[in-house]
Amino acid sequence: MERRSFLKSLASAGFTTLLPTGSIGALLASCASANPSEEFDFEKLIDRSGTWSVKYGRATNGEIPMWIADMDFATDPFVKAALSARLDRDVLGYTSTPPEFYDAVAGWLKNYHGYQVDREWVGYAPGVIAGINQAYLTFTNPGDKIIVQPPVYDQFKLYAERLGRVVVDNPMILRDGKYYMDFDGLEQLFDNQTKILVLCNPSNPCGIHWERETLVRLAEICERHGVIVFSDEIHADLTLYGVQHVPFCSVSDAAARIGLMFGSPTKSFNIAGLSGTAYCMIPNKELRERYLATLENSKLDEPPIPSLVGTIAAYRDDTRWLDTLKRYIEGNIQRALDFFSENQMGMKAFEPHTSFLLWIDCRALGLSQDQLMARFKDGAKVILSNGASYGQGGEGFVRMNLGYPTSVLEEAFARIKREFAYNYLTYFCKYLLIVNGHSAFSYK
């Protein structure tokens, strides 16, 4: 969408009328003239106390909470201004979904991801997981099978099982430090009860950018077995290093026939707390109508005001905030990779090609998963996500959220080093003493 028409739509929705005259326009104008790195301050320490943050709710003992995937950066000022302007209006009554919502999503897919979609293919999702759950209800019955490819975002399985569906694992293959889909394994899994494969594109927690050829092959196999694919693309806007994200439904006619895409600006613009800020994109008319009917019948088809405003404001044509954020995240990733390779602590970090989450292999430490998590939380005072929660292949791993000012990251690394570098050395000495025939000393 043109910036001018976006501003016009804000104005017609009343976003600007109660602001000091022209303030959104002034904001954009000031953004235009400023040096982006000065304008968006990702180094700023932000106090989240008293905001009911889920992430900080777990940090009761001075830990740095680097688990759940929201960032400690202020969101794009334009999105905040649009929200404030709308919430400043006196009446917050029933609100319809305006054409601007569909235009914003379709425009974003075209301009940011190079994927031309029909505006009619876009629909609402009351959150990515809530949307996927509605789609589970639409296309499966209790007892039907749903395939996931772990290690993968845990909530695909969690809610499928809560709804009485059977989750079948097709674990990814980890070879020479790289993950691959196991197509041979996949071919063995299908039967008459198999209805859906859930794809995480890009992958959380492993940070994998899936190549077009992989997705083409996946679509071909799934269509041949009469299975539809839910493609969770919530991390897609955060594809790094100039790599172009590949939307699943875009890769082939087969993918467009069987694919349901779920996306959202919540990760990329750090607005997860708005909730329900998501969309679906379903090229196949029959699948789309069935999904939308389920939403409507559950009365989940009416986006809350903040969700509408958040999506429309985030998915405008000015991407400087997001682009600057991505350069900052790339810097944090480089720093983290250097830290883990320079300090020989028995941990190996995978370079993510998307998003702000670092997947770390700690298997060389030889700890149980409980011991590993306790060493991070109680020893290092850094709370990470438990790799085992992402299913098969996640044991011995942790996931670290790098969405922090670099100073916080440095503090976390210092704590991890104090806890693990010393102990790894101790472990090594113990090993030397044992192989040299001395009795072992106690190792924490």
Ligand X SMILES: Cc1ncc(COP(=O)(O)O)c(C=O)c1O
Residues 205/359, Cβ–Cβ less than 8 Å: yes
- Is 129 near ligand X (CB under 6 A)? yes
Q: Who's near 177: CB < 8 A, 6+ residues apart?
A: 348, 350
What the block records as the tokens of 214 is: 């992989």
- Select 67 or 78, whichever has its Cβ closest to ligand X: 67
Instruction: Specify the DSSP class assigned to residue 45.
Output: -
C-beta closer to ligand X: residue 302 or 317: 302
Candidates 123-131, 241-249, 290-298, 339-347; binding stretch for ligand X (CB under 6 A)? 123-131
Alpha helical stretches, state H, 198-251: 212-224
Whether the ω angle into residue 202 lies within 30 degrees of 0, i.e. cis, is: yes
Q: What span, in angstroms and rounded, lies between the C-alpha atoms of 235 and 1?
A: 22
Paired tokens of 175: 């070879």
Out of 264, 294, 354, 389, name the contact with ligand X by CB under 6 A. 264
- Contact assessment for residue 104 and residue 124, using Cβ atoms and an 8 Å cutoff: no
How near is the Cβ of 397 to ligand X at its closest, in Å? 16
Q: Which token pair is 394? A: 């996640």
The pair of three-digit structure tokens given for residue 434, joined into one six-digit string: 């044992």
Q: How far is the CB of 311 from ligand X (least distance, A)?
A: 12
Q: How far is the CB of 431 from ligand X (least distance, A)?
A: 38
Using rule CB under 6 A, residue 134 touches ligand X? no
Taking the complex as a whole, the smallest distance from the CB of residue 3 to ligand X amounts, in Å, to 27
Please tell me whether residue 153 binds ligand X under the rule CB under 6 A.
yes
Which x/- pattern, by CB under 6 A, does the window 173-202 give for ligand X?
Answer: ---------------------------x--
204 touches ligand X (CB under 6 A): yes
- Find the binder of ligand X among 64, 81, 85, 128 (CB under 6 A): 128
How many Cα atoms are found within 13 Å in the side-chain-facing hemisphere of 101?
A: 25
For residues 163 and 298, is the Cβ–Cβ distance under 8 A? Answer: no
> CA neighbours within 13 Å on the CB side: how many for 141?
2
Between CA 272 and CA 261 the distance in angstroms is 18
Q: Give burial (CB, 10 Å; 0-12/13-18/19+) of 204.
A: buried
Does position 67 bind ligand X by CB under 6 A? Answer: no
- Asked whether the beta carbons of 205 and 387 are under 8 A apart, the reply is yes
Other beta carbons less than 10 A from residue 378's beta carbon? 12
Site string for ligand X, 273-302 (x = CB under 6 A): -----x------------------------
CB of 236 to ligand X, least distance (A): 10
Contact region for ligand X (CB under 6 A) — 2-10, 87-95, 125-133, 161-169?
125-133
SS3 261: strand
As measured in angstroms, the least distance from the Cβ of 282 to ligand X is 17
Name the minimum Å distance from CB 266 to ligand X: 5
Q: How many Cβ atoms are within 10 Å of 416's Cβ, its own excluded?
A: 25
Please state the closest distance from residue 354 (CB atom) to ligand X, in A: 11
Binding span for ligand X by CB under 6 A among 36-44, 122-130, 343-351, 363-371: 122-130
Which of these segments, 21-29, 264-272, 300-308, 322-330, binds ligand X (CB under 6 A)?
Answer: 264-272
Single out the residue of 81, 221, 228, 234 in contact with ligand X (rule: CB under 6 A).
234
* Site for ligand X contains 66 (CB under 6 A): no
User: Which residue in 272, 295, 365, 372 binds ligand X (CB under 6 A)?
Assistant: 272
The angle formed by the CA atoms of residues 32, 33 and 38, to the nearest 5 degrees, is: 100
Of these, 100, 154, 232, 361, which contacts ligand X (CB under 6 A)? 232
User: Measured between alpha carbons, how far is residue 222 from residues 187, 330, 379 in Å?
Assistant: 9, 34, 45
- Quote the tokens at residue 342: 């320079």
Indicate left, alpha or beta for 291 from its phi (over 0: left) and psi (-120 to 50: alpha). Answer: alpha
Element spanning 224, H or E: helix 212-224
Please, what is the minimum distance in Å from the beta carbon of residue 21 to ligand X?
A: 35
Cβ distance to ligand X smaller for residue 200 or 229: 200
Least separation, in Å, of the C-beta of 184 and ligand X? 25
Closest approach of Cβ 401 to ligand X, in Å? 10
Q: Which residue number, 264 or 386, has a Cβ lying nearer to ligand X?
A: 264
- Contact status: 69 vs ligand X (CB under 6 A): yes
Contact stretch for ligand X (CB under 6 A) within 51-59, 84-92, 128-136, 363-371: 128-136
Q: Which is nearer to ligand X, 55 or 381 (CB)?
A: 55
Interface residues toward ligand X, by CB under 6 A: 69, 127-130, 153, 200, 204, 232, 234, 264, 266, 272, 278
